[in-house]
């Protein structure tokens, strides 16, 4: 694709996000985080040139490499992957805008220790395993609110901003929808939560319809 063709293509994706969000409400604003894990720094720069500012990675070493390569650009970096305890310091050195995948009280305690030592704070989302899938990380929906409050109480250097979830792995739209609704129902009861991160390339319109205000789009923004 030429840059012009790419721009037309991206405009169409943005239009799809727009249609979905105004169906919820004119005031329902949705932020797009471009997940660049399958993409090169050159491809990220192409999307930046069209106007995209927020990017996300799911591996600490990739986040480190790409944010360093592109440090001249005013980008916002999100970390959406599972965080191993031995990678916490590496992640904090990059100081991401938002960590989407805080998935246990254990990890929260470990993060808190390191944040305190570095005299830093980190904005984060609690990941919820809404469809209760073995293959997925995240806290179970039944304990999500309780865990959220516990982290708020016990981890003052972690600033929880809301929740993140990955839609159910299913071909059945009703099943995926139910997983989004489960996440949204938890989100809307949380005090002070402002971010509900759900929706990926294959299900973002449905996620927005269910209340998502942050979509994480990978393959659909970086067509090969
Ligand atoms: C890869 C990834 C995405 C984007 O996936 P696509 O289906 O390519 O849009 C979103 N969220 C997380 C946590 C991911 O790992």
Q: How far is the CA of 198 from the centre of ligand 1 (A)?
A: 10
The verdict on the CB of residue 217 being under 6 Å from ligand 1 is yes
Q: Name the residue of 63, 218, 222, 223 whose CB sits within 8 Å of the most ligand 1 atoms, as the mutation to test its pocket.
A: 218
Q: Which of 103, 109, 110 is nearest to 126 (CA)?
A: 103
Assess contact for 189 and 170: CB atoms under 8 A: no
Assign residue 167 the CATH number of its domain.
Answer: 3.20.20.10
Report, as an integer, the average pLDDT of 150-157.
Answer: 98
Q: How far is the CA of 58 from the centre of ligand 1 (A)?
A: 8
Residue 37 domain-assigned? yes
Residue 133 domain-assigned? yes
- The total of structural domains in the chain comes to 1
Q: What is the pLDDT of residues 111-140, one digit of tens each?
A: 999 999 999 999 999 999 999 999 999 999
Say if residue 93's pLDDT is above 90: yes
Q: Which residue segment(s) compose the domain that 101 sits in?
A: 3-217
The predicted pLDDT at position 11 comes to 97
Q: What is the pLDDT of residues 155-175, one digit of tens each?
A: 999 999 999 999 999 999 999
Residue 109 domain-assigned? yes
Ligand 1 atom closest to the Cα of residue 216 is 10
Residue 224 domain-assigned? no
The predicted pLDDT at position 224 comes to 85
Residue 99 domain-assigned? yes
Angle between helices 141-154 and 105-118 (to 10 degrees): 20
Task: Tell me the whole-structure pTM to 2 decimals.
Answer: 0.97
Residue 222 domain-assigned? no
Q: Name the residue of 13, 17, 33, 35 whose CB sits within 8 Å of the most ligand 1 atoms, as the mutation to test its pocket.
A: 35
The verdict on the CB of residue 218 being under 6 Å from ligand 1 is yes
Report, as an integer, the average pLDDT of 187-204.
Answer: 97
Q: What is the pLDDT of residues 2-13, one digit of tens each?
A: 999 999 999 999
Tokens representing 19? 């249609």
The predicted pLDDT at position 103 comes to 98
Name the closest-CA residue to atom 12, ligand 1: 80
Confidence of residue 14 (pLDDT cuts 50, 70, 90): very high
Residue 86 domain-assigned? yes
Residue 143 domain-assigned? yes
| Separation between Cα atoms, residue 88 and residue 111, nearest integer Å | 7
Q: What is the pLDDT of residues 44-82, one digit of tens each?
A: 999 999 999 999 999 999 999 999 999 999 999 999 999
Q: How far is the CA of 119 from the centre of ligand 1 (A)?
A: 31
Q: What is the pLDDT of residues 16-45, one digit of tens each?
A: 999 999 999 999 999 999 999 999 999 999
Q: How would DSSP label each residue in the chain?
A: --HHHHHHHHHHHHHHHHHHHHHH-TT---EEEEE-TTS-HHHHHHHHHHT--EEEESSHHHHHHHHHHTTTS--EEEE-S---GGGHHHHHHH--SEEEEE--HHHHHHHHHHHHHHT--EEEEEEB-TT--TT--SB-HHHHHHHHHHHHHH-TTEEEEEEEE---S-S-HHHHHHHHHHHHHHHHHSTT--EEEE--TTTHHHHHHTT-SEEEE-TTTS--
The verdict on the CB of residue 200 being under 6 Å from ligand 1 is yes
């Amino acid at each position: 694709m030429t840059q012009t063709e790419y721009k037309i293509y991206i405009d169409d994706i943005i239009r799809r996000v727009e249609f979905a969000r105004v169906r919820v409400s004119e005031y329902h604003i949705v932020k797009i985080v471009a997940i660049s894990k399958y993409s090169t720094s050159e491809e990220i720069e192409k999307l930046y040139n069209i106007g995209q500012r927020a990017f996300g990675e799911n591996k600490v070493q990739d986040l480190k490499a790409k944010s360093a390569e592109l440090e001249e650009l005013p980008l916002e970096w999100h970390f959406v992957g599972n965080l191993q305890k031995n990678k916490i310091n590496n992640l904090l050195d990059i100081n991401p805008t938002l960590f989407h995948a805080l998935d246990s009280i254990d990890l929260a305690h470990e993060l808190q220790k390191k944040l305190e030592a570095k005299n830093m704070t980190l904005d984060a989302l609690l990941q919820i395993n809404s469809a209760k899938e073995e293959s997925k990380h995240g806290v179970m929906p039944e304990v999500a609110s309780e865990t959220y409050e516990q982290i708020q109480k016990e981890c003052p250097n972690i600033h929880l901003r809301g929740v993140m979830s990955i839609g159910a792995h299913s071909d059945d739209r009703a099943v995926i929808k139910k997983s989004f609704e489960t996440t949204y129902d938890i989100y809307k009861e949380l005090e002070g939560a402002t971010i509900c991160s759900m929706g990926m390339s294959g299900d973002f319109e449905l996620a927005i319809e269910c209340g998502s205000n942050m979509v994480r789009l990978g393959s659909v923004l970086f067509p090969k």
